[in-house]
Amino acid sequence: MRFILTMALILISWAACQVAGAPEEGAAVQKVSEEGIPHEAESEDPHDHGHQENSAGEIQQEEHESHEEHNHELTDNHEETGVDSGDGHEGEEENAIELSAAARSNLGVTTATVERGDVAVTRSFYGWVRPRPQDLMNVHSPISGLIRSIHVWPGEFVEEGSPLITLAVPEWLTLQEAILRSVNEKNQLEASRGLLLDMGYSEAVRLLGEIQVAHKDVEKIQEELNLLDQANGKGAVSVREINLKRGELNAAVTTCRSKQVLALTYGIDPVLLEEYERGKEIPARFDAALPPSIRKELGAIDYDILDAETRARVAGGKLRAVGASPDWIEELRKGNREALMDFLTIRSPHAGLVMNVDVSVHSAVNAEDRLMRVIDYRKVFVDVEIPEVDIGKVMNRASDVIAIQIPALDGGQFLGKVVYLDTEVAPDERMAHLVVEVDNDETLTLRSGMAATVEVPLQIRRGVLCVPAESALPDGVETVVFVATLGGFLRTPIEVGAKTLDKIEVKSGLSSGQEVAVRGAVPLLLAFQERGRPAPAGGHGHQH
């Protein structure tokens, strides 16, 4: 009966701790007593009702009376808990504890299946957490100015592109004005260029028209000269009249040829030119040719346009270098004067946690002054110290996947991947460094400087029986697990082999397919340890 009360008290106390949000079984048991033993075992005299003399007798008496009432309540209601040690029942195994399915569910006891798997033979090393070099950001002021506002403070997480600090920069207007002036100049030059093109195209059309007229004049004079030659054979015209007509023909041919040469200088194709001479219709806009003078002026304008565009691009590049957004610069390049502003918002280059803010509102800063420090902790490095004598073993490790335990986080476990092993050994410490990359959790728990226990796998034992590490508990010189039975659990000693942070090899004591307690194993062990202690004082348990 004493064991019934003890077990009920332990399990109910443990369940209450679980409901209250205790993170680990060990933490729940600690609330039962500092040593992990229930308080009713503290009384020594079975006939003394809490009046034993000590340095705080009165207080102990009150605690004993209160505890006595609790024992009566547990005794009257022990059937509801579903817990029975089997005390008083002959033939029941000493290592068995009865626990109904309902009680196991209420208490949150969970089990895992004993199965075959791979277990790494590991070697433990010391390490510590540090940020990756590429994730350290010292945010500097790109330009002199005055702190207008600070948008984030230490401890806040910022996303890439989030505003950090706004600077008032009156001198910044100079760069913006340079963009606007260059854009305006470029627009004017492009307008002038368009006018010149129109003039050049119209001049080419006019010249083609003149060439067609001159060609027709030559044909007409040639026909007149032919008629005069026929009349001269009959004595109807004089030689002087024929010679004058020949002079007109020569002049017309010369004029036509000079215009043809001029057309070639415009860039008109000779084949097209011949077609136009023969009467091909001339288009209203001839884009294939321009007068030399127009081409020269266009060349000068094109140079000026390129120069204006370069000046605008340089000013935009300077703005971009100090953190101006491309969209805003594009608005300036469109000539939008409404986009002018005298302040600069500095944004985070990528996501991270704000660690330091080095300035205050209204303080003046110079270019390159540090404004704040941001660290991206979503991935971290763990630096592992490897003694010189172990370098060979680590280099020949069985896997690059490394198990890491953080003592400061109640043994919280992470998995990392080897990045590299130092190529040199520190002469004073005789240590090399193995660098492991680890994905942080959602709350970014891993922080710079945290100590770590790192398990480097030296060998993989495959196809061995294994159980979760938290299910195997030390009990004196033995390691035990609690095997699930039809009516509860059975304390079972095991022989262990290789150990990792999450699994233990079982050499003997278990069979594949058995179920062992995982969560809730610690209270079960404490109950069995309590079985061997002296009976509580006063004998107030009720016999059933």
pLDDT bracket for residue 5 (50, 70, 90): very low
Q: 237 and 299: one domain?
A: yes
Instruction: Enter the tokens of residue 163.
Output: 């505003």
Q: 181 and 296: one domain?
A: yes
- What average pLDDT score do residues 399-419 get? 89
Residue 505 in any domain: the answer is no
CB 197 within 8 A of CB 290: yes
pLDDT value of position 454: 93
pLDDT value of position 482: 92
- What average pLDDT score do residues 313-331 get? 84
Instruction: Enter the tokens of residue 454.
Output: 């790192």
- What average pLDDT score do residues 483-493 get? 89
Q: 351 and 273: one domain?
A: no
Q: 48 and 101: one domain?
A: yes
Q: 195 and 285: one domain?
A: yes
Provide, rounded to the nearest whole percent, the portion of the chain with pLDDT above 70.
79
CB 438 within 8 A of CB 404: yes
Q: 183 and 297: one domain?
A: yes
What would the pLDDT profile of 134-162 be if each residue is shown by its tens digit? 999 999 988 888 999 999 999 899 999 89
| More confident call, 459 vs 10 | 459
The residue behind tokens 């400061």 is 408
- What average pLDDT score do residues 217-241 get? 80
Q: What is the rounded CA–CA span in Å between residue 383 and residue 57?
A: 54
Domain that holds residue 156: 134-170+342-375
Burial annotation 230-246 (CB, 10 A radius, 16+ → b, else e): eeeeeeebeeeeeeebe
Residue 264 in any domain: the answer is yes
Half-sphere exposure of residue 272: CA atoms within 13 angstroms, side-chain side: 16
pLDDT bracket for residue 280 (50, 70, 90): confident
Q: 360 and 441: one domain?
A: no
- What average pLDDT score do residues 389-405 get? 90
Q: 259 and 354: one domain?
A: no
- What average pLDDT score do residues 514-524 get? 89
Backbone angles phi and psi of 247, in degrees to 5? -65, -40
Tally of domains within the chain: 4
Sign for the CA dihedral angle at 339, 343, 349, 353 comes to negative
Residue 323 in any domain: the answer is no
Q: 98 and 153: one domain?
A: no
What would the pLDDT profile of 124-136 be if each residue is shown by its tens digit? 999 999 999 999 9
Residue 267 in any domain: the answer is yes
